[in-house]
Amino acid sequence: MRESTWVSLLLLLLPPAPLWGGPQEPEPEPERGPLQPYDLLYASGVAAYYSGDYERAVRDLEASLRSHRRLRDIRTRCARHCAARRPLAPPGAGPGAELPFFRALLERARCSRSCQSQRLGGPASRHRVSEDVRSDFQRRVPYNYLQRAYIKLNQLEKAMEAAHTFFMANPEHMEMQQSIEDYRVTAGVETFQLVDREARPHLESYHAGVKHYEADDFEAAIKYFEQALREYFNEDMECRALCEGPQRFEEYEYLGYKGGLYEAIADHYMQVLVCQHECVRELATRPGRLSPIENFLPLHYDYLQFAYYRVGEYVKALECAKAYLMFHPDDEDVLDNVDYYESLLDDSVDPESIEAREDMTAFVNRHNHESELIKSAAEGLGFLYSEPNYWISYGGRQDENRVPSGVNVEGAEVHGLSLGKKSPPKIGRDLREGGPLLYENITFVYNSEQLNGTQRVLLDNVLSEEQCRELHSVASGIMLVGDGYRGKTSPHTPNEKFEGATVLKALKFGYEGRVPLKSARLFYDISEKARKIVESYFMLNSTLYFSYTHMVCRTALSGQQDRRNDLSHPIHADNCLLDPEANECWKEPPAYTFRDYSALLYMNDDFEGGEFIFTEMDAKTVTASIKPKCGRMISFSSGGENPHGVKAVTKGQRCAVALWFTLDPLYRELERIQADEVIAILDQEQRGKHGLNINPRDEL
- Return the active site residues: 654
The 3-state DSSP class for residue 597 equals strand
Q: Which ranges in 479-591 belong to alpha helices (H)?
A: 503-511, 517-537
Q: What is the phi/psi pair of residue 27, to 5°?
A: -55, 130
Give yes or no for a contact between 610 and 654, defined as CB atoms under 8 angstroms apart.
Answer: yes
List CB contacts of 633: < 8 A, sequence separation 6 or more: 458, 459, 460, 462, 530, 533, 599, 600, 601, 602
Strand ranges inside 130-289, DSSP E: none
Strand ranges inside 557-637, DSSP E: 567-572, 577-579, 584-586, 597-602, 608-609, 612-615, 622-626, 633-637
Total number of residues shown for the chain: 700
List CB contacts of 428: < 8 A, sequence separation 6 or more: none
Residue type, 490: S
Nearest CA to 522 among 679, 641, 374, 664? Answer: 679
Q: What is the phi/psi pair of residue 658, to 5°?
A: -100, 130
The CA distance from 44 to 28, in Å, is: 30
Q: Assign residue 388 a region: left if phi > 0, alpha if psi is -120 to 50, beta otherwise?
A: beta
List CB contacts of 364: < 8 A, sequence separation 6 or more: 326, 327
List CB contacts of 337: < 8 A, sequence separation 6 or more: 305, 306, 309, 317, 321, 403, 404
The CA distance from 687 to 503, in Å, is: 23
Give yes or no for a contact between 593 and 615, defined as CB atoms under 8 angstroms apart.
Answer: no
The 3-state DSSP class for residue 456 equals strand
SS (H, E, C) 38-76: HHHHHHHHHHHHHHCCHHHHHHHHHHHHHHHHHHHHHHH
Q: What is the phi/psi pair of residue 525, to 5°?
A: -65, -40
List CB contacts of 421: < 8 A, sequence separation 6 or more: 413, 582, 584
Residue 659 pairs in a beta bridge with: 549, 599
SS3 content of the chain, % helix, strand, coil (to 5): 50, 10, 40
List CB contacts of 179: < 8 A, sequence separation 6 or more: 147, 163, 565
Give yes or no for a contact between 641 and 584, defined as CB atoms under 8 angstroms apart.
Answer: no
The CA distance from 680 to 134, in Å, is: 46
What letter would DSSP give residue 256?
G
Angle at 40 between CA 563 and CA 562, to 5 degrees: 10
CA distances, 277 to each of 5, 280, 388, 489, 697 (Å): 24, 7, 10, 33, 68
According to DSSP, the β-strands at 633-637 and 608-609 are unpaired
- Dihedral sign from CA coordinates of 256, 262, 267, 271: positive
The CA distance from 449 to 177, in Å, is: 28
